[in-house]
Structure 1
Amino acid sequence: MELELSHLLTAAGSFLGMLMIYRFVSPRVVPLWFPAYNALPWEKQIQVNEIFMAGSHSIVVCISSWAAYFTVEELKPTTLWYNCAITRHTSAFFWGYSLADLLLMICHPHFGDVYFLMHHVVSLISGFLGMANTSIPYYVNVFLMMELTNPFVNFRFMLKALGYPEKSLLFSCTGVLIFITWWVARLAFIPIYAYHVTQLVITGEFFKIELPMQLCSVLGYVFFTVLNLAWFRIIKTNLPWFCFSMQIELPMQLCSVLGYVFFTVLNLAWFRIMKTNLPWFCFSMQIELPMQLCSVLGYVFFTVLNLAWFRIMKTNLPWFCFSMQIELPMQLCSVLGYVFFTVLNLAWFRIMKTNLPWFCFSMQIELPMQLCSVLGYVFFTVLNLAWFRIMKTNLPWFCVSMQIELPMQLCSVLGYVFFTVLNLAWFRIILKLFKREIRGLMERGQEYSKRAQIETNSKKGG
C-alpha cells in the first residue's frame, strides 16, 4: 500500500468540496437555470441539491478517467503495477464524494434505498483501494469510466424532481443519451473486463497482486455488473434479446445474474485446463486423466449450476435444454447424473486409444483393458439413458422407447452391448489367429525363397 499525503488531501478536498456544492452552490445556481426550484418544498430542494452535487462529481471523474484511458499508454490490461497519478487522484476524488454522499444519505434516509447504500459502501472500498494501491490501474480506471452515464442520469433525476413532464423533448433526449452511454461505459465493458481478467488468471499474473485487489477486482466487478444490469431495467427497453425478463422481482434478477456471471467466470477458468485443439472433442488426450476429469467435471458442474440459475429467469426461449415444468431437484438430478456419467464415458473412451473412427476399441491393447473399457462405456451409457428418461422429454430422436418398462429397456440394451463386447472379443482372438497364420505363411515363404536362392547359386557355382 502506497498511500501518499497528496491522495489524502485530494480525498479531503473532494469531501469538503462536495458538501460545499450541496450546501451553497446548488441553491444559488440551480434557480438561475430552473426557476421552478424556488417553488419546491424543502425535501425536494434537498434532493435537487444532492443530485446537483452528484452530477458535478460525475463530470470530473468522467473527464479524468476517460482522458487517462486514451492518453496514458501504460494503462494496459496486462500492466500489474503502475503509479498512474491521474487514476489514483481520481479514485481519491471519487472516494471523497462517496463519503460525502453516504453522510447525506444517513442524514436524509429518503435520498436512496438499500441498493444505493450498498453501492456507496462498495464504492468506498473500491475507491480507497484504487487510491492507496498501484496494482492493476487499468481495471481501477475502468470502474471510474462507468461514471460517463451519471451526468445524464442525474440531470434526468433533476428534471423529474423539478416536475418536468416525462414526455417532453428534454426528457426524451436525456433518456436516449442514458441508453447510449450505458451501453458504451457500462455494459460494453462487462465482457471486455471479464476477458482480460481471465487472461491474467490463465497466465498466473493475477495471483501476484495483493489479495484485497484480487477480491475487489472480481467481487467488485460482479457487484457492479449486477447493479448495471438491474439499473438498466429502469430504462424499460423492449429489446427482445435482453438476457432476462423485466417482469420478475429485482432480488431474483440480482440473484440470477450474480450466479450466472460468477459461474461463467469459473467456467472460463476450468475451460483453460482442457487445452484442447479439437473442436469436436471436449478435452485433450495429451494431459493426465485426473486433470481431464477435474477440468470436465468442474466445467459441467458449474454449467449445471448455470442452468439452475438460468431457470430462475423464467425465460420462454424455445431452445432451453430442459423442461421448466418438472421440479428443480429432478432437473438437477437428471442433468447432474447425465453429465457426470458422460464425463466417465469420455474417460473410458480415452483408454480405447483408437484411431479408427468406425471401430469402438483398438486391437493393440490387452483383452482385459478392452473388456473393461467397452463394458464401462456401455454400462454408463445405459445409466445415462436411464437418467435421461427422468427428464421426460418429447424429443423425437430419443434412442430408446419411453413406453416400455425400465427393466426391459435395461435388459435389451445391456444384452445387446454385452454380446457385442463378446463378439468383438472373439473377433480379436480370430484376428490374432489369422495374423499368426499369415505370419507363419510369410515365414515359410521366406524360407522357401532362401533355399531356392541357395540352390540356384550352388548350381551356378558348379
Structure 2
Amino acid sequence: MFSVSSLRKLVGPWLLQLFFRERFFPLSLSKQQWMRKLTMSIMSSALVGTTAVIVYLSEEQLDPKHLRHDIPTVSFNCAFMLGHTVADTLAHTLLKTNTMTNYFQLILHHIITLGASFAGTFSGCLPYYVNIGLMMEVSTVFYCSYIMARELSYLRQSLIIGVFFLSTFFCVRILLGFCIFWYHLIPLLQTPEFYDLDLPVLLALFGCFPVFQLLNLVWFPLACKRYIQDCKSINTPGSISVEKNGLHNKTA
C-alpha cells in the first residue's frame, strides 16, 4: 500500500505536470486530486494487468486443473493488487468523484476485490483463476485513461481510447473473466477434492467472484451507452471550442 500511495503522492503529480501542465493547473483542486487518483490507478493497473498477461501467456505451470499450486509471481502480483485496492478504495471514499458507474456498485466492487485479493495472496490455491482476475486490470488502464482524457478536454482522443476500453473490457472481463473462467472451473466443481480447499478461497470463489462478474455484465452495456453518448456530444455546439480552448469539458 505504501508503494501505491507513493505513486499518487510523488510520481502521479510529476507526470501530470510534465505532460499536461497547461490543462492540469487550471483545474480545481478537487479535479487535480481526481487526476492524481486516475494516474495512480493507470500505473498500478498497468503493472498488475501486464504482469498477469505475461504469466498467462508464458507460465507453463499455470494450469486450470491445478487446485493447489503456488506460483510466486501470481501471489506477489495479487499482493500488489491488494495494496492498490486499499488505496483506491480510500481515494474513492474521500474524493467521491463521478465515474461511469454507480458509486455504491463501485465501492462494492472494491470490497469484493479486497476479499478476493486477500485470498489469492495467502492461499496459493487456484492460481489460474486468480490470474484471470488480475488480468481484468488491463481494461482499468483504458477506463482511467478514457476518463482522464475527458476531464482534460481531449475529447476526440478520448473516443479512440474508449474503443480500446470497450474492447479490453469485453475480452478480459466478459470473454475470459466469465465464459472461459466457468468453462474450466465447472469440471473442478464436480470433484470432491475441490471442496477441501481453504475456507477463504471457497468464500471468495462462491461469494465474491459471482457478484464481481455480475457487476461486469451490468457495467458493460452501461459503458457502451455512455460511450455512444460521448460520441454524440462531440458533435454538439460548443464541444469543439471547448476542446481547442483546453477548458474543462462540461459533458465529462
Q: Scaled by the length of structure 1, what TM-score is found?
A: 0.46
Q: Which has the higher helix share?
A: 2
Structure (1 or 2) with the larger CA radius of gyration: 1
CA contact (8 A) 2:34 2:95 kept: no
Contact 1:92–1:127 (Cα < 8 Å) also in 2: yes
Q: Which residue of 2 aligns with 1:118?
A: 108
Contact 2:123 2:198 (C-alpha < 8 Å) held by counterparts: no
Alignment correspondent of 1:67: 54
Change (3 A) 1:206 1:70: same
- Equivalent residue, structure 2, for 1:45: 32
**Which residue in the other structure is 1:23 paired with?**
9
In the TM superposition, what are the counterparts of 1:183-332 in structure 2 within 5 Å? 183-189=170-176, 190-236=178-224
Percentage identity across paired residues of the two chains: 27
Displacement of 1:116:
1.5
- 1:142-198 per-residue CA deviation (whole Å, 9 max, x = no partner) reads 100111111111100101121232xx1x12211111121112111102121112221
- CA distance in structure 2 between the partners assigned to 1:203 and 1:176 by the alignment: 41
Aligned pairs (5 A) from 1:365-404: none
Cα deviations by residue, 1:203-232 (Å, 9 ceiling, x for unpaired): 333212122212211222211211111221
Q: Cα offset for 1:103?
A: 2.1
Q: Is contact 1:77-1:139 (8 Å) kept?
A: yes
5+ residue gaps in structure 1? 1-14, 239-462
After TM superposition, give the deviation of residue 200 of structure 1 in Å.
0.6
SS in 2 for 1:198: helix
- Gaps of at least 5 residues in structure 2 are 227-252
Cα separation, partners in 2 of 1:233 and 1:38, compared to 1, 3 Å: same
**Structure 2 Cα separation of the partners of residues 139 and 132 of structure 1:** 14
Distance 2:56 2:6 in 1: 29
* Residue matched to 1:281: none
Query: 1:111, CA displacement in angstroms?
Result: 6.0
Name the counterpart of 2:230. Answer: none
Question: For the residues of structure 2 that align with 1:82 and 1:117, how far apart are their CA atoms?
Answer: 31
TM-score (norm 2): 0.83
Name 1:346's counterpart in structure 2: none
Match of 1:248 in 2: none
Alignment correspondent of 2:83? 96
* Counterpart residue number, 2:247: none
Q: Which amino acid aligns with 1:23?
A: K
Deviates more, 1:198-207 or 1:141-150: 198-207
Aligned length: 221
Write the distance in 2 (CA, Å) between the matches of 1:193 and 1:151.
Answer: 21
CA RMSD of aligned residues (A): 1.7
* Structure 1 segment 324-363 matched on structure 2, within 5 A: none
Instruction: Give the Cα–Cα distance (whole angstroms) in 2 for the partners of residues 159 and 123 of structure 1.
Output: 26
Q: Which amino acid aligns with 2:131?
A: N
Q: CA deviation at 1:78?
A: 0.7
Mean alpha-carbon deviation: is it higher for 74-83 or for 25-34? 25-34
